[in-house]
Amino acid sequence: MVIISTHGTYDQVGLADGGTKNFWTDFVYPFRETEFPAFESKPKIFVSNACLKFREGKRVEGIVDGSTKDIIVLQSCMPGYASLRHPGQNSQGSWFIHFLMATITEHYFDMHLTQIMREVQQKQHERGKNPKKKYQCATYLQTLFKKFYF
């Protein structure tokens, strides 16, 4: 578990010497299984308590009106990675959308959206067990206070 509590911007975190580091490339990605084989198939937990504002300048206070609650953002891949598509001329689109729509179709009546996303991640992981195939890991961030069912 890595816990970082500092000042920051969208993808940068502040250091004691006044410098900054990229949260993803300097802290999260060095723990990938390709870089750190001893952690293969083990959870890697990162807790960040830092501002995520988009640029330097005027200080933005914390949420007062709750305007960013009940939002979920589904992303096909982690920051810094490409979103993969089915290969070939008759492409079925991206793997992420393929797995997302298939899982929604199969489970819209018995799984809420965060459960569906976990299933999508699992399907992407299963596809990636074939070393000849590239795969990506979908991610989501959410501030939902209720379970969302289709």
Q: What is the pLDDT tens value at each position of the chain, 150 positions in all?
A: 788 888 888 788 889 999 999 988 898 888 887 888 888 778 787 878 777 776 655 555 555 456 567 778 888 888 877 777 777 666 677 888 889 999 999 999 999 999 999 999 999 888 877 777 777 888 888 888 888 888
Q: Are residues 18 and 75 in the same domain?
A: no
Do 89 and 141 fall within a single domain? yes
- Looking at the structure of the chain, the number of domains it has is 2
Residues 77 and 143 in one domain: yes
Is residue 86 domain-shared with residue 122, that is, in the same domain? yes
Q: Are residues 48 and 80 in the same domain?
A: no
Specify the pTM: 0.70
Examine the domain organization and report whether 46 and 118 are in the same domain: no
CA distances from 86 to 95, 98, 120, 121, 128 (A): 6, 9, 16, 17, 13
Q: Is residue 142 part of a domain?
A: yes
Residues 6+ apart with CB under 8 A from 49: 3, 4, 5, 6
Q: Which domain holds residue 23?
A: 1-56
74-99 in b/e form (b: 16+ CB < 10 A) is bbbbeeeeeebeeeeeeeeebbbbbb
33 with 73, same domain? no
51 plus 89 within the same structural domain? no
